[in-house]
């Protein structure tokens, strides 16, 4: 493989020693869509030894403009994203072992997979999973990289337990109420923004896995539309309940079943994460309205239709997804439209 990675090893900060370290390393990529697909591609092409790929969703036609590893054939077949990612990257060749898991990432699965990983990378589309990963990473001392993108830009935060930098909860103490944050489906997104954020994640990942130079903690803001970037030095919060007080509620409550198919109804009930705030239906209606989706208020309930399904959001955060009995798809759709 010396010829394959010759140009990469000529890069002084990496070198042959760093390349050898990459080949011995394992990375867990949570989510294989827009962000995760770009991250997975760069790490595979760079020769990282093993990639654990986790995603609960299937490929759909609307993924194709920005999710670079998928084809129209994958969308037509409804191929699980984890398996489509592995299939595409296997054709690249090279030494990387690709291990797909078409599953919802809960606490037990995270503990199982992360025990094999040197680094966790964020390719997910929902905050609940990110807070779960953050709890696990701090509890076990495993580095992870948070990445988020919407509209024309996004942010990247390397979380390095044991160092002076912040964890996710130092910056964002609690998850926002469902419906309050814009998502790619309500506010839109452009492919170059995804590529910029994911490439920054991948670059930091290579530096961490190579182990030759320390990564300086900090928050990076990228705007692909306006062509700007800036790095913010953000300190660790000594009063953080996670890395300060070492409280891990998202990890401890993660074994609760989050979705169940209702027998004979072609409907899935999706439960909110334990401790999640009540949904803000007004904010949800405003965000969905901007995306052209009308929200109907029926007493305390909110209803809307999308992707061939009808969604009913209850005041306690429960959502019924009518039109599917696939719990993974229902969870992915709720994360996409409501943000839970």
* pLDDT over threshold 80, residue 26: yes
User: What is the per-residue pLDDT for 297?
Assistant: 85
CA distance from start to end of the chain: 44
Q: What percent of the chain has pLDDT over 90?
A: 61
pLDDT band at 56 (very low <50, low <70, confident <90, very high): confident
Opening angle at CA 221, ends 289 and 44, nearest 5: 95
Distance CA 125, CA 28 (A): 16
CB 246 within 8 A of CB 139: yes
Q: Write down all domains in the chain, each with its CATH number in brackets.
A: 6-249 (3.40.50.720), 257-337 (3.30.310)
Q: What's the mean pLDDT in 273-297?
A: 84
User: What is the per-residue pLDDT for 281?
Assistant: 84
Q: What's the mean pLDDT in 161-173?
A: 91
Average pLDDT over the chain reads 90
* pLDDT over threshold 60, residue 255: no
pLDDT tens-digit map of 67-110: 999 999 999 888 889 999 999 999 999 999 999 998 878 889 99
DSSP bridge partners of 101: 54
Query: Crossing angle, helix 127-140 and helix 107-114, to 10 degrees?
Result: 50
- 7-21, 207-221, 263-277: segment of lowest average pLDDT: 263-277
* pLDDT over threshold 80, residue 300: no
pLDDT band at 171 (very low <50, low <70, confident <90, very high): very high
* pLDDT over threshold 70, residue 263: no
User: What is the per-residue pLDDT for 85?
Assistant: 97
Strands 267-270 and 259-262: antiparallel
pLDDT tens-digit map of 201-235: 999 999 999 999 999 889 999 999 999 999 999 99
pLDDT band at 1 (very low <50, low <70, confident <90, very high): low
User: What is the per-residue pLDDT for 262?
Assistant: 65
pLDDT tens-digit map of 116-142: 999 999 999 888 899 999 999 999 999
Q: Tokens standing for 232?
A: 């913010």
Burial class of residue 27, CB neighbours in 10 A (0-12, 13-18, 19+): buried
């Amino acid at each position: 493989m010396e010829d394959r990675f010759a140009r990469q090893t000529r890069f002084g900060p990496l070198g042959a020693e760093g390349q050898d370290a990459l080949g011995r390393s394992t990375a867990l990529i949570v989510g294989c869509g827009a962000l995760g697909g770009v991250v997975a591609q760069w790490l595979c092409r760079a020769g990282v030894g093993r990639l654990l790929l986790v995603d609960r969703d299937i490929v759909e036609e609307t993924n194709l403009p920005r999710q670079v590893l998928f084809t129209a054939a994958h969308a037509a077949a409804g191929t699980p994203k984890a398996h489509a990612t592995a299939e595409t990257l296997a054709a690249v060749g090279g030494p990387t072992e690709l291990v797909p898991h078409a599953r919802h990432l809960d606490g037990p699965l995270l503990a199982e997979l992360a025990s094999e990983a040197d680094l966790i990378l964020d390719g997910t589309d929902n905050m609940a999973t990110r807070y779960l990963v953050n709890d696990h990473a701090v509890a076990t001392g495993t580095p992870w990289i948070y990445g988020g993108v919407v509209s024309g830009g996004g942010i990247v935060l390397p979380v390095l337990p044991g160092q002076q930098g912040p964890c996710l909860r130092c910056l964002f103490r609690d998850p926002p109420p469902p419906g309050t944050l814009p998502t790619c489906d309500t506010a839109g997104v452009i492919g170059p923004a995804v590529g910029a954020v994911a490439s920054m994640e991948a670059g930091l990942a290579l530096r961490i896995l190579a182990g030759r130079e320390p990564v300086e903690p900090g928050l990076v803001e990228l705007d692909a539309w306006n062509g700007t970037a800036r790095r913010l030095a953000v300190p660790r919060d000594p009063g953080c309940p996670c890395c300060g007080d070492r409280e891990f509620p998202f990890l401890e409550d993660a074994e609760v079943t989050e979705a169940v198919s209702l027998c004979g109804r072609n409907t899935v009930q999706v439960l909110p994460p334990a401790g999640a705030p009540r949904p803000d239906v007004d904010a949800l209606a405003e965000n969905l309205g901007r995306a052209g989706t009308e929200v109907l208020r029926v007493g305390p309930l909110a209803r809307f239709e999308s992707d061939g399904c009808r969604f009913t959001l209850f005041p306690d955060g429960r959502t019924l997804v009518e039109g599917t009995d696939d719990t993974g798809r229902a969870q992915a759709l709720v994360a996409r439209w409501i943000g839970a």
